[in-house]
Amino acid sequence: MGRKKHEEHENHERWIIPYADMVTLLFAFFVVLYAMSQADVEKVKIVSESVSDAFIGHKKGGDKSKQMDILGVRGSPPTSRRFVMKKNLTNEEIIDEILESLEVEGFDVLYQEEASPIQMKIDERGVVISISAGYLFAQNSTEIPAELYPVIQVITDIIKDAGKFVLVEGHTDNLPVAGTKFFDNWDLSALRATAMAKLMIEEFGVNAKLITASGYAEFKPVASNDTEKGRTQNRRVDLVMLNASRAEDLLEDAQVPGVENLQ
């Protein structure tokens, strides 16, 4: 008789291989988590925005220098805080964008109080950005100092990206301008509006076809001209972002004067 074959024993240690694989994967997973926790948050944000840029499209005139920095190439200093801005913003979102941009650039003190030089509201025409004439101009002057350009650029960048029609309106108080080179408040308000419009076009690249400048003298006050506080509020330049980006959308809007000039 031949020898009896021994029965094969079941291998009770087969679990070791999948267990080892699982431990390896867990180790790799936690290494990745640790690495992510140590990453430069700003660079992660820039990478994320760059990915969005590839799918959504680059904002015209946007800042590419931070993207270049990731690759080790130094670009020019940034002039805008974002690469991609959502199109077709609501009026509320436009105001939020402007306020956030001013805060990022360190200009938030300009809009925090009722008496601050920059005020914003929404009316039936669209977004109204009121900038105090006392902040923009010297007394009886129409020249905007260069040191104010960074503040104006923050606002203008949002306006340019929105692609809406803009009314630039000059306003004064009811005090006469006798003794100056201007005939009256009509001259002063119109020339201040024109100065702002030309700056937006020539310095910051806003489409000239989207801008109309006009002066209203003292005849559209926002406060009483009987007090100095009220007169200060009335001396202003309003940037009105209309609720339209096409001239034909404005033709039946009774709130917008002179729309035939925007076509």
| Same domain assignment for residues 64 and 175 | no
2 part of a folded domain: no
| Same domain assignment for residues 237 and 143 | yes
| Same domain assignment for residues 56 and 134 | no
123 part of a folded domain: yes
| Same domain assignment for residues 39 and 134 | no
What was the pLDDT predicted at 64?
39
Q: Which of 84, 103, 118 is the last residue of a domain?
A: 84
| Same domain assignment for residues 96 and 73 | no
Give the separation between CA 235 and CA 204, rounded to whole angstroms: 24
Number of domains in the chain: 2
| Same domain assignment for residues 111 and 60 | no
What was the pLDDT predicted at 111?
73
Count of helix runs (H) and strand runs (E) in the chain: 8, 5
4 part of a folded domain: no
173 part of a folded domain: yes
| Same domain assignment for residues 235 and 142 | yes
| Same domain assignment for residues 47 and 138 | no
Q: Are the C-beta atoms of residues 251 and 242 closer than 8 Å to each other? A: no
6 part of a folded domain: no
| Same domain assignment for residues 145 and 210 | yes
| Same domain assignment for residues 45 and 165 | no
What was the pLDDT predicted at 247?
57
Instruction: Report helix, strand or coil for 118.
Output: strand
What was the pLDDT predicted at 151?
93
pLDDT digits (tens, 9 = 90+) for 224-250: 999 999 999 999 999 999 997 655 555
Give the separation between CA 35 and CA 184, rounded to whole angstroms: 67
3 part of a folded domain: no
What is the torsion angle, in degrees rounded to the nearest 10, for the CA atoms of residue 52, residue 56, residue 57 and residue 61?
-70
Tokens linked to 106 = 């360190």
Query: Which structural domain, as residue segments, surrounds residue 136?
Result: 88-262
Q: pTM above 0.85?
A: no
| Same domain assignment for residues 171 and 93 | yes
Residues of the chain where predicted confidence (pLDDT) is lower than 50: 44, 47, 50-84, 252, 262-263
Return the CATH number at 223: 3.30.1330.60
What was the pLDDT predicted at 254?
52
What was the pLDDT predicted at 6?
54
205 part of a folded domain: yes
Could you tell me where the DSSP H helices lie in 38-83? 41-56, 65-70
| Same domain assignment for residues 144 and 49 | no
Q: Which of 84, 114, 138 is the last residue of a domain?
A: 84
